[in-house]
Chains A and B, each alone.
Chain A
Amino acid sequence: MKKEFKVIAELIPKNTRVLDVGCGDGSLMNLLVKEKNIEVRGLELNTENVQKCIHKGLPVIQGNAETELHQFPNQSFDYVVLSQTLQAFYDPNKVIKELLRIGKSVIVSIPNFGYWKVRTKLLFFGKMPVTKTLPNTWYNTPNLHMCTIKDLFNFCDEKKIVIKKAIGINENNTSLINKNNLEIRNLFSKLGIFLIG
């Protein structure tokens, strides 16, 4: 199980209702159902992943998060999770607004473009970084709007979105992010997980 999913699962209380946007093969949903008795729903574009969820008995709706979030009513979920896909949307700002409309709280995770290895690749090799969390090359990456932990932090500030908790992940270590340690966490975290709403 990915460390990221464990951290996300820890953020969500038992017996709640959760929408997993871009739920993939349902790994996170499975974890939430089994360990926390959470009522889950998934939204997923890829047919193969949709079938995997259905085979596991996990409710999943095939659809595009960019255009089809409107089908979920206001505040109909306790939590909405968006794992590592924010950067792939044409209009991340609009998607975040939609997530906040649907969920009482929203959990967004991003691959951190401010991670030191990413920075050094660009700085020393002059090439777009290819890493474990960013495995694609510039011409086939689905990521249209790469951002850093600092960027998302400032974005929430600017849009007056309350950050309830922000966590940086590097391998198996997690650390809380706040205004005071933002620079250093932005440099040393591979992933950022934001609980907002």
Chain B
Amino acid sequence: MNSKLENIKKIKVSKPLKLDCGKTINNFPLAYETYGKLNANKDNAILVFHALTGDQFVTGTNPVTNKEGWWSTAVGPNKAIDTNKYFVICANVIGGCMGSLGPKNINPESKQPYGLDFPVITIRDIVRAQESLLEHLGIKKLLCATGGSMGGMQLLQFCSTFPDKTFSAIPIACSVSHSAQNIALNELARQAIMADPVWDKGKYFLKNVQPKNGLAVARMVGHISYLSEKGMQEKFGRKLQEKADYEFSFNADFQVESYLRHQGYTFVERFDANSILYITRAMDYFDLTKQFKGGLIEAFRNQKTKFLVISFSSDWLYTTKENKDIVIALNASGADVSYSEIVTDKGHDSFLVNEPEFLKTLRGFIDSMYEKFKNEKRI
């Protein structure tokens, strides 16, 4: 895996970045991937922000895991975000483990991996770290920026911090701050990792191991929260896993158990436990309202960006109500905002799976924005 990591695209961010925690990072790596071609007018660039366990490999085959990119349903040739037409960019978040600076990188001071010496980062830090990438690619203004879940949070922060860097924006299934329930679920994931003795206060890298059991449980928690009660019932119900009757044991008798175990144990192959701690913390700390002293309207003041907010009816992690709060704030600040609620049983995961109504909406918005952006540039 490490040799593959060396071949992925990276820039060295030389501009010092003062983090929200007070510490400064500089000369740090930022890994990214692009799809499609940037046209001569440089008006077809779309920036994608990935979610908690995502990475820069949006579509095609992920060269590290050899699996399909996490948003292959929406991004690719002739897909809703058509890479024949658009230039799609995605960066690995700092704190992550797919090439950007994260807790498994070497700390120049100790000459050992950071582990828990890695500074606690925020969504704002993650977003600021990506500014240099746009400079590096020579893009002054994006056609569109989008992201679901934590990707949506990054997007809202991006639009607030850099109000003129994108022509349009599509926040999907996200919120302006984590609810108590979201923080609780993230805490459950963190506690699962920290309860694994292999974790060893984050120093597992010294023995070249991963706290696999804890990390797998953390992933299982996530997977439950990404599905809806109805969707889960329809998919699994009480069906047994390749057996006629109960085994009277604690093996995975039920299909749903088998599914969770599979998700958990394939995840540990590609993700770093400390990264989960850091990124979930960044999500919990995210509070756009707090940044603007309670006035969310201020966060979107003077926005020229055209927004489309999308929520899913069965998403209980980032509910329709939370997404509507974004719309209300955008409205109140006079921003150009559209909103659509997609009716589906597929829960929070809806944006990652084949959900035709969602994909149709995504395509329609991006294509119409492209026409508008081209006209604006011409004038």
A residues lining the B interface (CB < 8 Å): 41, 47, 50-51, 53-63, 71-73, 76
Q: Which single residue of chain A is at the shortest CB-CB distance from B363?
A: A55
In the complex, what distance in Å separates the CA atom of A53 from the CA atom of B327?
17
Name the interface residues of B348-372: CB closer than 8 Å to any CB of A.
357, 360-361, 364-365, 367-369, 371-372
Contact with B361, one of A54, A58, A59 (Cβ below 8 angstroms): A54
Contact with A47, one of B327, B357, B364, B365 (Cβ below 8 angstroms): B357
The 9 closest A-B pairs by CB, nearest first: A57-B368, A55-B364, A71-B328, A61-B339, A54-B364, A59-B338, A62-B340, A54-B365, A60-B338
20 more CB-based (< 8 A) A-B contacts, given A54-B338, A63-B324, A72-B331: A41-B331, A41-B336, A47-B342, A51-B357, A51-B361, A54-B308, A54-B361, A54-B365, A54-B368, A55-B367, A56-B368, A57-B365, A57-B368, A57-B371, A59-B338, A61-B337, A63-B339, A71-B324, A71-B328, A76-B332
- In the bound complex, do residue A57 and residue B369 qualify as a contact, i.e. CB atoms below 8 Å apart? yes
Least distance between A19 CB and chain B CB atoms (Å)? 10
In the complex, what distance in Å separates the CA atom of A47 from the CA atom of B341?
8
Name the interface residues of B284-310: CB closer than 8 Å to any CB of A.
306, 308
In the complex, what distance in Å separates the CA atom of A47 from the CA atom of B357?
9
Q: List 28 A-B contacts (CB under 8 A).
A: A41-B331, A47-B340, A47-B357, A50-B338, A51-B340, A51-B361, A51-B364, A54-B338, A54-B361, A54-B364, A54-B365, A55-B364, A56-B368, A57-B368, A57-B371, A58-B338, A59-B306, A59-B336, A59-B337, A59-B338, A60-B338, A60-B339, A63-B324, A71-B327, A71-B331, A71-B332, A73-B331, A76-B331
In the complex, what distance in Å separates the CA atom of A55 from the CA atom of B340?
12
Q: Does B334 interact with chain A (Cβ within 8 Å)?
A: yes
Name the interface residues of B96-138: CB closer than 8 Å to any CB of A.
none
Least distance between A54 CB and chain B CB atoms (Å)? 5
- In the bound complex, do residue B332 and residue A73 qualify as a contact, i.e. CB atoms below 8 Å apart? yes
| A contact face: mostly helix, strand, loop, or mixed | mixed
Least distance between A40 CB and chain B CB atoms (Å)? 10
- In the bound complex, do residue B343 and residue A47 qualify as a contact, i.e. CB atoms below 8 Å apart? yes
Least distance between B341 CB and chain A CB atoms (Å)? 5
Please indicate the chain A residues that have their CB under 8 angstroms from the CB of B331 in the complex.
Answer: 41, 61, 71-73, 76
Contact with B334, one of A51, A54, A55, A76 (Cβ below 8 angstroms): A76
Q: Which single residue of chain A is at the shortest CB-CB distance from B334?
A: A76
Q: Which single residue of chain B is at the shortest CB-CB distance from A43?
A: B339
Least distance between A12 CB and chain B CB atoms (Å)? 19
Please indicate the chain B residues that have their CB under 8 angstroms from the CB of A55 in the complex.
Answer: 364-365, 367-368
In the complex, what distance in Å separates the CA atom of A76 from the CA atom of B364?
28
Please indicate the chain B residues that have their CB under 8 angstroms from the CB of A60 in the complex.
Answer: 338-339
Interface centre among A51, A54, A57, A60 (most CB of B within 10 A): A54
Known: A47-B343, A59-B306. A53 touches B328 (CB 8 A): no
In the complex, what distance in Å separates the CA atom of A62 from the CA atom of B337?
11
- In the bound complex, do residue B372 and residue A57 qualify as a contact, i.e. CB atoms below 8 Å apart? yes
Cβ contacts B194-230/A at 8 Å (1 or 0 each): 0000000000000000000000000000000000000
Q: Which single residue of chain A is at the shortest CB-CB distance from B357?
A: A47
In the complex, what distance in Å separates the CA atom of A53 from the CA atom of B361?
10
In the complex, what distance in Å separates the CA atom of A181 from the CA atom of B35?
67
In the complex, what distance in Å separates the CA atom of A60 from the CA atom of B331?
11
In the complex, what distance in Å separates the CA atom of A56 from the CA atom of B368?
6
In the complex, what distance in Å separates the CA atom of A47 from the CA atom of B364?
13
Name the interface residues of B130-173: CB closer than 8 Å to any CB of A.
none
In the complex, what distance in Å separates the CA atom of A51 from the CA atom of B339?
10
Interface centre among A41, A47, A59, A72 (most CB of B within 10 A): A59
Interface centre among B337, B357, B364, B369 (most CB of A within 10 A): B364
Q: Which single residue of chain A is at the shortest CB-CB distance from B369?
A: A57
In the complex, what distance in Å separates the CA atom of A41 from the CA atom of B371?
19
